[in-house]
Amino acid sequence: MKESGADGTILAKEMIALLEYKFDTQLLIEGENLSEDDIHDYITAHFKGDCLLAVGDDTLIKIHYHTNEPWDVLAYGASLGCLLYTSDAADDSLR
């Protein structure tokens, strides 16, 4: 790895290039009979990624997932209910 800052930090673009899953995908699903366990299991079985969080109750679930297939995760969420919030930006938390 290249050091690029005076303090030895790596530039954000270099760090992002090292990430395997570049999209920080977040959504909030409103629906009925939602199960965070079922949603978690479906996402891990069908979409490549990491850092999955699926939390909530039977009417509202928050999803956070790093993936290279954000559109598929969003489509799955939309199939479960109404999407109240979505974000699928390339991970820029290091910038």
Q: What torsion, rounded to 10 degrees, do the Cα atoms 45, 70, 37, 63 define?
A: 160
What the block records as the tokens of 22 is 């570049």
- Rounded to 5 degrees, what are φ and ψ at 28? -120, 120
Mean pLDDT for the chain? Answer: 85
| Distance separating alpha carbons of residues 36 and 78, to the nearest angstrom | 15
Give 31-42 pLDDT, tens digit per residue. 999 999 999 999
Residue 44's identity, in one-letter code, is T
Q: 77 falls in which pLDDT band (50, 70, 90)?
A: very high
Prediction pTM value: 0.76
**Long-range contacts made by residues 38-42, C-beta under 8 angstroms, separation at least 24?**
39/63, 39/80, 42/76
Give 12-54 pLDDT, tens digit per residue. 666 666 778 989 999 999 999 999 999 999 999 999 999 999 9
Q: 85 falls in which pLDDT band (50, 70, 90)?
A: confident
